[in-house]
Amino acid sequence: MNPTYEISSTSGIQAPRKTPNYKTWRAAGIGAAGLTLAFCVFRYLTIRNGRITFNLCVIVCSLLAISAMVIALSNAKHFGRGNVLRTAWLLIAPMGIVDCLLLACYTLPGVSAGGVRPERETAVRLAGLILAGTTLSGIARLVLAYVLWKMIGVYRGIAFKLRLHTSDYVMIVVLIAIATISVLYASNGISNNLRGLAPVVPDMMGWFPVVDWFRLLALSCCAVLGVIAWRYATDSGGGLVAKAWRSVLMYAALYLGYLAYSGLTAHFVIRPNLQAQPTSFSRFLGLIFLLVMFIGLVGSELMLFLGTTYQNEASNSAVELDAETLNALAAADQA
Amino acid sequence: MIASSEAVPKNSQFLIQKSIFLLASSVGKAVAETIIHQGIQQMGASPTTLTEADIPGLSIKVKPALEKFVGEEKAERLTSALRVLVGGMVSK
């Protein structure tokens, strides 16, 4: 049944029900991320306990991912059965959770260095869990590539012209290069994160590069389709739907950047200096690592959250233009 | 039916501009432009001869394309707004 609308000469059409205050939602998300960043930097400078900050990042990421999932499911409800975007938002909904589950696995006791080394049986179970999480993360990226393909199809469906620029081709090459770096050095990042497990289950560690090659395929598909979707969203001339998709693309790009960066730093910075005494320079590098990790990790989940709120606003908000404003806008454009 | 403001020009280009601005905040100006021009084409009308009387027909034509971007409920709101704010009609 179609909703009824109240019409007035001054306010145009009013929504049949009150819509959420999306600006407050977004401000809350950005505020939570900002406060956590400030707290993490403070903790690092005063206590230098990387584990606490990582755990806090995982908690904030999880909260953002859960919120994004709820809003994405609500987004899907606005589209009828058979609508491409209904499927797209249903598939996007669990993506943040998958990332967070994988991150949460790294916080389990015995996984990283510093704790009590687990028994072989426990270590096999933990390594299997993280391997499954990494595979799931790869599948999520493949699903995201499918979602982007479908979104591109929506723009093509209305015969909206695609005009790729030279910068877009450069960006595709850069993103594939980052994806390759993330895969080439991901095993270093994983070995660094699994310093507690690796000596107990060396036979299982060989599976991680295999899973990462699969992830490279998914990330490369995401990079190509992501740039095309970004161009469509940019050329669409603003609007909430474009903001939503650009945020989802930023989520994918930031997470990719995080993977590449953590692998690179593990290979070139952390591993060669594991036994070295901490110096001022290494502490400075640690702070930079913390900041980049935070931007990549929490930033990606924040972008996913923002993306879902933009689409929710596009599908749920009232038409706020009144007749006078509309006349003024059109007249100004004509002049 | 109620007439929209009498003080503003009502040529076809102005009606098209108003329709585009109405949809722009949701789907973007360029996409709105594409959708509106496609709708006019599907009606068999010309952008140069579009009148207020054509807007209800246009709103029916643009609705499926809008649904793809914003869903059924918002598409209904936008097309109702199109009929009222651009076409000068009251939706029952």
Q: What is the pLDDT of residues A75-129, one digit of tens each?
A: 999 998 889 999 999 999 999 999 898 888 877 776 665 556 677 788 888 888 8
Tokens of A24: 């407050």
Say if CB A249 and CB A226 are below 8 A apart. yes
B10 close contact with A: CB closer than 8 A: no
Nearest to B48 by CA among B34, B37, B62: B37
In a domain, A13, yes or no: no
Cα gap A253→A304, rounded to integer Å: 11
Which uninterrupted H or E stretch holds A7? strand A6-8
Domain that holds residue A180: 24-271+281-313
Tokens of A257: 């950047």
Test A333 with B73 for CB contact under 8 angstroms. no
pLDDT for the residue A231: 95
Tokens of A244: 């939503």
In a domain, A329, yes or no: no
Which three-class secondary structure state does DSSP give residue A293? helix
Cα gap A16→A191, rounded to integer Å: 55
In a domain, A8, yes or no: no
In angstroms, how far is CA A322 from the centroid of its own chain?
36
The number of folded domains in chain A is: 1
In a domain, A131, yes or no: yes
Tell me the pLDDT tens digit for each residue of A146-202: 999 999 999 999 989 888 999 999 998 998 888 788 777 766 666 666 767 777 777
pLDDT for the residue A240: 94
- Chain A, nearest residue to B25 by Cα: A239
Test A318 with B8 for CB contact under 8 angstroms. no
Give chain A positions within 8 Å (CB) of B18: 326-327, 329-330
B12 close contact with A: CB closer than 8 A: no
Test B74 with A5 for CB contact under 8 angstroms. no
Q: Which of A13, A239, A327 sits opposite B27 (nearest CB)?
A: A239
Test B74 with A154 for CB contact under 8 angstroms. no
Q: Which of B31, B74, B91 sits opposite A239 (nearest CB)?
A: B31
In a domain, A304, yes or no: yes
Distance from CA of A113 to the nearest CA of B (A): 48
Say if CB A64 and CB A32 are below 8 A apart. yes
In a domain, A3, yes or no: no
